Chains A and B, each alone.
Chain A
Amino acid sequence: MWKKAIDNLIPLFITLLIVILRFTFPNKLSFFTEVAIFSIYVMGNNILYGYIGLVSFGQPFYLGVGGYAVAIFLAYVGHSPIIALFLGILSGVVLGLVLGPSFIRLGSSYFALINAALCAIGVFIFERLLIDITRGNDGLWFRSRMTKLPLLDIRLPQNFFIFVVIIFFFVLLLYRYMDRSTLGTMFRSLKNNEEKLRFIGFDTFKVKWVGFTLASALSTFAGALYAINFGFVNPSLGENTRAVEVIVATLIGGSGTVYGPFFGALTFLGIKDIVSRLITRWELVVGILTIIVLFRFSKGIWGSIQQYIGVLREKLKLLG
């Protein structure tokens, strides 16, 4: 019974952890806001990489779409950040539903390559094709057009942090729910043995489609939050050179786990924060980090914790 109670409280603990960390390092506010947003982004990638077993080198594209959905709405149409965020999620759902059927049919290698290609064309569209709307590399600014929410003025960074943490908590709850539901089980079995899942009578195409749509919705949501956080977007949000960052974060946290994305995001951004102060060749470090994690630390942080708890429990059982 205790086990179950603790289990249910983990999302709360994690949310508390990020709040405590924010107050322990008071001048690192923007960093922890980014951790919360990046966690949501990593969760999206985790559905693809950890659950379904597809790797995509084009995740920044979805981030960019979410960001631009928010930016275009706020800069030209409306003033409410909440509607903008909903539009951000909606753009991801539409994208997932539209692109899904053609992408899901592809093999895993084609899937990775076509997403990378999509990402490149995305940058081109944001930067040059729609330059009249997106203002190209200058970026689209909209901070002054945002109105405040009824209870919270999210234009202030400290309030936006609270807002993001609340969102993060609910996303984490939903993510945990997804993990325990039949859908989560189907995702995992898809990775282990797709043929068997089909044999049992599930439509694997639909399962993958749902997974792909969920992943892209989470990514665009993160992109939308990024946009509101910065108050502007430019094409670098969707840059394909950054595609591997989210994959590394997924791996560090522990792919295929519920709480892994948070730890991955925290560790990855922490390393980035420290390293980028010391040296400028960031790609080199990301690459080496990925290879080390892949070969030596494949379970990731949360995976290792889970294993450790499992071993501990066995020992306790033996002791009586």
Chain B
Amino acid sequence: MDLSLWIPAVIYGFSVSGIFFLVSLGLSIGFGLMRVVNLEQMLYYTFSAYMTYTMVTLTGMFWLGLMCGVFLAAFLGFLVETQLLRRVYGKPMLFSMVVTFSFFLIGIGAIQYIWGLSPKPVSSPTQLMITIFGTQIPLYRLLIILTAGVVYVMIQLLLQKTILGKAIRAGIENPDNLQGLGININRIFTITFVIASALAGLGGALNAPLVMVGPYMGFDMLLYAFITVILGGLGSIKGTLISSLIIGQVISLGGTLWSPLAFVAPFVVMFLVILIRPTGLYGVKGIV
């Protein structure tokens, strides 16, 4: 066991987990609360990454780009929820998935129109390396892990301590009863959706320096988001966290062992779990 190889691998894994957690939360909550698999979630991820790219090339300030990206993602999420998804609620799952997937394609087309086909590089805000246990780790990776951790804590606080959070949790349990209590469920939907898309945007902006920003980056991420939510179970925040931790480590450690494993191993893990538990690790029971 060569520690100088494995410690960075574990930390890289955690940073990958952080990104996966941020981007797949929307997919999971959207399903739990609205019973819609919103596949267009990755659009906010891509748009935000592009926004970051534009701001970085214009001003050179990464954190400003990140904020703009998150705002753009939240705004797009607001538009899509109020204009498009409202028409889809209550329709069969079949219908809503095809609608959101085609909307995803429209978005990709729009991105190609605005920013062109060629991939864009975004420079990392900090090149600083930090020494942990005698190995060099980029500070940026640690920042991602920290951000994801803070987001998780804040979401837990929101859900456990505020009235809004309680309403969201109640909505996941039973939307009809929530409406029966006189709570405007559409408003809850919009707020949740905007938060989720802002988080996807945050994931996109954070991931922009690590990958090339291209029109199809959302497609690549969508597959990992699928794996994360399937493994964790649709509709569960805890499940999303745990499965993103697992998948991140599987990718990073698997890739260190044998490079094709980085791609294949997450799928294998997901298939195995699905074979035993068809609703994932923490899936919401009773709905499919």
Q: Hey, which bits of chain A sit against chain B, CB under 8 A?
A: 49, 53-55, 57, 102, 105-110, 112-114, 116-118, 120-121, 124, 128-129, 240-241, 244, 247-248, 251, 281-291, 294-295
Contact = CB atoms under 8 A, between A and B. Distances in A.
Contacts of A291: 99, 102-103, 106
B75 interface: no
B35 to A, nearest CB: 9
A114 B228 CA distance: 11
Contact of B101 (A106, A121, A244): A244
Contacts of B275: 102
Contacts of A284: 105-106, 108-110, 112-113
A113 B229 contact: yes
Nearest to A106: B278
Given A102-B271, A120-B223, A287 B105 contact: yes
16 contacts: A105-B278, A106-B274, A109-B31, A109-B97, A110-B279, A116-B223, A117-B227, A120-B223, A121-B263, A124-B263, A129-B260, A244-B102, A284-B108, A288-B106, A290-B99, A294-B98
Interface in B242-288: 260, 263-264, 267, 270-271, 274-275, 278-280, 287-288
A281 B108 CA distance: 9
Contact of B37 (A112, A128, A281): A112
B226 A113 contact: yes
Interface stretch (B66-74, B87-95, B126-134): B87-95
A117 B226 contact: yes
B50 interface: no
Given A113-B230, A116-B223, A241-B216, A129 B264 contact: yes
B175 to A, nearest CB: 16
Contacts of B219: 240-241
B279 A287 contact: no
Contacts of A113: 37, 226, 229-230
B193 interface: no
Contact of B274 (A110, A240, A286): A110
B205 interface: no
A117 B221 CA distance: 11
B87 A295 contact: yes
Given A109-B37, A290-B102, 19 more contacts: A106-B278, A110-B288, A112-B37, A113-B226, A117-B223, A124-B264, A129-B260, A240-B223, A251-B98, A281-B109, A281-B112, A283-B109, A284-B105, A284-B106, A284-B108, A287-B107, A290-B101, A291-B103, A294-B102
A274 B202 CA distance: 39
Nearest to A104: B278
B78 interface: no
Which of B37, B104, B113, B226 has the largest count of A CB atoms less than 10 A from its CB?
Answer: B226
A282 B109 CA distance: 7
A116 B226 contact: yes
Contacts of A54: 94
Contacts of A117: 223, 226-227, 230, 267, 270
B244 to A, nearest CB: 15
B199 interface: no
Contacts of B87: 295
A188 B102 CA distance: 25
A247 to B, nearest CB: 6
A229 to B, nearest CB: 26
Nearest to A292: B102
Interface in B202-233: 216, 219, 222-223, 226-227, 229-230
